[in-house]
Structure 1
């Protein structure tokens, strides 16, 4: 399988850390400056510590919509692959951001572009969603089930799963990761080739409640824990420090087991919930820091399942990534699960 093309769209509203702090402050008009100032100073300090600089959000007041960005990314990716929409015989929508639980969101995007006979389904595994979708595509292309597969996502969460209420410092333990979120849409076109991909995973279900967005009635399906629902139903909760600690162990074990010569790769692409955590962690496992692509988080924030395809495309645009380069994807996701994916770009 080969990546024929990747395209992306970022929303129009660019926010610096200072603009984000002002946004949080404005969403808490009932709080006095005495209450807000120390909280916001700590948020600013944590943003700087993680390497955050800017992020992009939809201009909701101006009517900017996720659908337009998703379709724009898909149109560009198809055009750059020198194929047409009708050539896509499988469309996979992946990720956390979505408009429907039923049917699969992919059907709506296929309908929007007249893809009348395209097979469609969704894949959801938090920030691992794109990686899971790519492996599914690899298996289906090898089996000859499909000839051209498109994977799209739209990670749009502002105004949907966010919580800007200032409470106390203790709440930052599970609320701060929301402040790192950016928005993005990506599209990836995958075609058959003789190039082999190697997928390896390391999963720790015991940590399933470290990062959650619970649905109404979730307690009917799973036994509630004290970590779930801290910010309310449909709201993002992430115990970032715990997630990073356990995620590092999980990914570190996998890197040591699956990569023979870490320095042989041209680039490593992590999921991007932080910049500094990867600068400090990956070199401990033989990965040179200069080979880790770390531009996504500082520029765009944590864009969930869009992080890796966005990083690949940005690196290509910058002339840092070239066809034929051996690369490695090293995402860690809520669940908890880590992955090492080795391929030739």
Structure 2
């Protein structure tokens, strides 16, 4: 009997602390509440506590999923963690999470650093592990705390990003394929356009020394230890690569009319509206679930899917196109049959 990988459950958590448009407008008087919302589509971002890490959110998301009773923790035989804010350079945060969750020592575990396309990449990895017989029950965890990289005086990114974690259960099942038509792309020439310049091995952070603070032409202040985003370059990349990726998912055997929902990386309102118009997608099939949490990087697509499940928009039998794109540059797409 053929075995196929299938998504069977999703849960997510957001930090307790929030950053609202009212708070941002008080800090940046040149941006009022309406301007922030109209540009980003975001009203609230959740911000992790100073003494918390992305792994703390990951743990809570996994425990929330396990508490549903969908699966017993003893049955989990692999954990895949997507994060760009790991607890340490080494060991892998997935190993720490395996121990903290009380999973079997026969469980495989690894991290991968992929950002906004990370959820789709993770689905592809899980499909490969399950359909080659290496695993049966996989926890795909996405967890990010970009707020730790953001300078408080940099409104260009502070208005966009929120912290979050999601846990997605992928299991072996008959009657598939349920995850199909994976497409990937990479262009490392764009690495410099969404980056934290220092802190890694190439440019280590100097101990006990604060890097220089500088202000760009738009009045945003940051250091090289903070997140930098070239918004116009990211937008141009997305408008060029995402439609190409999207088109590659379809042919005579699988047409756009067979798709019930489109779940793109939940970047911001301006980006998603522009992509939807460029590709000519109907708004009623296009998921937009980021107003309450902001751009949560690799967790944005599973959050969007879970919210669609909660609202009864996504039900069994539906077909979803998932598309992730961003930091790297990296992009990926696939078909998810629910």
TM-score past 0.5 threshold: yes
TM-aligned CA deviation for residue 192 of structure 1: 1.1
Residue 21 of structure 1: which of 22, 25, 36 is its match? Answer: 25
Note if 1:195 corresponds to 2:176.
Answer: yes
Question: What does residue range 60-79 of structure 1 map to in structure 2 within 5 Å?
Answer: 60=50, 66-79=54-67
* Matched residue SS, 2:275: helix
* Matched residue SS, 1:15: strand
Partner of 2:207: none
TM-aligned CA deviation for residue 90 of structure 1: 0.8
Note if 1:276 corresponds to 2:270.
Answer: yes
Q: Is the 8 A contact 2:82 2:142 kept in 1?
A: yes
* Matched residue SS, 1:128: helix
Change (3 A) 1:68 1:216: closer
Change (3 A) 1:212 1:313: same
TM-aligned CA deviation for residue 329 of structure 1: 0.5
TM-aligned CA deviation for residue 46 of structure 1: 4.8
Segments of 5+ residues of structure 2 without an aligned counterpart are: 205-215
Question: How large is the Cα RMSD of the aligned pairs?
Answer: 2.4
Partner of 2:231: 240
TM-aligned CA deviation for residue 288 of structure 1: 1.3
Q: How far apart in 2 are the matches of 1:89 and 1:299?
A: 33
Q: How far apart in 1 are the matches of 2:70 and 2:40?
A: 39
Segments of 5+ residues of structure 1 without an aligned counterpart are: 26-35, 167-174, 222-226
TM-aligned CA deviation for residue 220 of structure 1: 6.0
Partner of 1:327: 320
Q: How far apart in 1 are the matches of 2:201 and 2:11?
A: 35
Note if 1:7 corresponds to 2:1.
Answer: no
Structure with the larger strand share:
2
Q: How far apart in 2 are the matches of 1:105 and 1:65?
A: 10
TM-aligned CA deviation for residue 66 of structure 1: 4.7
Q: How far apart in 1 are the matches of 2:247 and 2:143?
A: 33
Question: What does residue range 116-127 of structure 1 map to in structure 2 within 5 Å?
Answer: 116-117=104-105, 118-127=107-116
Partner of 1:311: 304
Q: Is the 8 A contact 1:324 1:344 kept in 2?
A: yes
| Structure 1 ranges of 4+ moved more than 6 A | none
CA deviation profile, 1:209-233 (whole Å, cap 9, x unmatched): 1111234365469xxxxx9xx9334
Q: How far apart in 1 are the matches of 2:75 and 2:268?
A: 37
Partner of 1:293: 287
Note if 1:54 corresponds to 2:44.
Answer: yes
Partner of 2:144: 155
CA deviation profile, 1:173-225 (whole Å, cap 9, x unmatched): xx60232111111101110124222211233222121111234365469xxxx
User: TM-score, length-normalised on structure 2?
Assistant: 0.84
Q: How far apart in 2 are the matches of 1:185 and 1:217?
A: 23
Partner of 1:170: none
Change (3 A) 1:217 1:319: closer
Q: Is the 8 A contact 2:86 2:92 kept in 1?
A: no
* Matched residue SS, 1:192: strand
Q: Is the 8 A contact 1:95 1:304 kept in 2?
A: no
Q: Is the 8 A contact 1:263 1:288 kept in 2?
A: no
Structure with the larger helix share:
1
* Matched residue SS, 2:149: coil
Partner of 2:91: 103
Partner of 1:132: 121
Q: How far apart in 1 are the matches of 2:202 and 2:141?
A: 30
Q: How far apart in 1 are the matches of 2:328 and 2:57?
A: 28
